[in-house]
Amino acid sequence: MKEVENLHARYAHALDDDRLEDWPNFFTERGVYRIATAENEARGLPLPVVYCEGRPMLRDRVQSLRHANIYEPQRYRHVISSVLIEEGKDFIKSASSFLVVRIMENGETMLFASGRYQDRISVKEMLYEERVVICDSRRFDTLLAIPL
């Protein structure tokens, strides 16, 4: 479904272009964003690496990134695989794989994260009701600052 792929592409481009203030607008008002490791997800362990529920919490995370958190300047480049889609009446489930390359201010480039997105998308709004980012590794090189 073209609308789902377009949502994923706009999401990735917003993050890659440092338009973090746009990030909460990809979610429904009560949308959930969660980052977990594949190991914890497979074992049913509920503790996420990052958890945000609702646009106010998503906006607060962006404000923290801009004004409170201290981290080395960096940017991302997302590569997203073909999308598997399961359509329902009120929502769409989608699954895709991703790679995120991190580019540091000095130009150093490295593979930062790989994994899969598991999404529940509102048909009515064509926004994420839930985006679960399941990272293949349980280790992160540095502070997981920018959303994946």
pLDDT score at 140: 74
Cα gap 27→12, rounded to integer Å:
13
81 with 99: CB under 8 angstroms?
A: no
Average pLDDT over residues 81-86: 95
- Whether pLDDT at 142 is above 70: no
Between 34 and 82, residue with greater pLDDT: 34
Per the structure block, which two tokens stand in for 34? Answer: 């969660």
pLDDT in tens, 6-44: 999 999 999 999 999 999 999 999 999 999 999 999 999
Q: What is the pTM of this model?
A: 0.93
What is the Cα 17 distance to its own chain's centre? 14
Q: What is the pLDDT of residues 100-135, one digit of tens each?
A: 999 999 999 999 999 999 999 999 999 999 999 999
Set out the domains of the chain in order of their start, with CATH numbers.
2-135 (3.10.450.50)
For residue range 91-104, what is the model confidence (pLDDT) as tens digits?
A: 999 999 999 999 99
Distance CA 22, CA 35 (A): 19
